[in-house]
Chain A
Amino acid sequence: MSKRKPYVKPMPANWFMANRFHTLYMLREGTSIFVGLYSLIMLWGLAALVKGEAAWNNWLGHMENPIYIGFHLIALVACLYHAITWFSLAPKAMHLQKGDQKISDKPVVVGHYIVFVIATIVILGFVAWGGAA
């Protein structure tokens, strides 16, 4: 008679705390909560803008609240962390080769940072231009 009795270890709910790599992964995925909330606040602002000047000024008033300012700072850090992890993973999604040699990950990662810097300058330029006008 077989004495087999395979034992299946249960996976605890906090499995991601046991391994640093998994913890950082959950942190990366967790940034989506802040990005999601930020998007809702933006939508709220857009809706206020459509409603008229009073609603818009009311929304702007809310945004001056230290709680909202604090939230935006946290959301900014979350976005940056997500972007950094994404940039470092981006090369995995593509196979690039020159002749019979695979191209290293570096150009793809550096390319992402260059686009990021250019986009940031363009957006900040627009904001400064809008503020001046």
Chain B
Amino acid sequence: MKIYADNAATTRVSDHALKAMMPYFQEQYGNPSSLYELGQKAQEALDDARGRMARLLNCQAREIIFTGGGSEANNQAILTAAKLGAKQGKKHIISTAFEHHAVLHPLEALKEEGFDITLLDVHEHGLVTAEEVAQAIRSDTCLVTIMFANNEIGTIQPIKEIGKVCKEKGVLFHTDAVQAVGHEPIDVQDMNIDMLSLSAHKFHGPKGVGALYVKRGIVIAPLIRGGAQEKNKRAGTENVPLIMGMAAAMEDACENMEENSVKIRQMRDYLIDEISQIPHSVLNGDRQQRLSGNVNFCFEGIEGEGLLLLLDDKGVCASSGSACTSGSLDPSHVLLSIGRPHEIAHGSLRLSICEDNTIEEMQAIVRAVKEVVEYLRSISPVWTDLKQGKQQHII
């Protein structure tokens, strides 16, 4: 039995999305830039996909650029704001300490070019407030970039309030909504979002395709040059099949959002309630302001990689913020940002579920997690010391 509980990493492509892609590989394979009918049909398909996605975000079709995924969209949004800011002598950017690396690393690169970066604290619950954003805005601030929902701990930021603050202060507002699109209601106009990044494979679409919404009037800086595609803002022949799959998946996700989230939240709450019963464990991220499908725990006395390997042996696919799983030596910057000490952050587990999961699977996950945590603790010298009172419990 295989239980897939790593939907924040990627999702299974839905039947509908797969079906929507298929005609564009061998039948409607024309280049959208070609003048003959085969090409023009592809162009029409792209226009159609763009229009459908725009409706779901409540923006105009021309405000959507197709990209090669969420990371590219984030890079392009940040570069766009930085270029506009630099022209006006504004070189201050506000973000948070727990953004995805696809935001943090471009910001680090800008820092080397003389930009001043403020990373807001996300506190113990993994949330920023609009007031904190307002206080951080200066006369030279050119961008506020704050993720809609965190990829590890699932906390949902007060995007509408932040958008309002940015609008009042006249500062561009970008949100990395890769984890939120298709899972949380989003209206770019109502929320005063100037730029938004999304990625298809987080909502049962294909990998390697995403989009950037950029409000009309903002001059977009291209990352890839060499063609007139996407109005000169993203060179390269459009990936028509993947874009069609993305549009189909996004429609499904948005249309079924309410129904899905009721089901997913029920399973999530079951997991949280059950896993909380493991002694010396702690839920990471605010319990209320979180994605329907996100569960993230730290367990004292164990390390995350062993946890994942043994869960895999029991058929459960999950992820961890431990250093060992990342190939680096530090545990997740997200867990450190909410104040988890290193030794606790190493023992983390993220389960991210979707509507395809079942309550029976949740029961099996709980059994597996309890067994594995207990076993790893039984061979851990840290746990022995904690049990014997030689060390104090942190959680």
A binds B: no
Instruction: Using CB atoms and an 8 Å cutoff, list the residues of chain A in contact with chain B.
Output: none
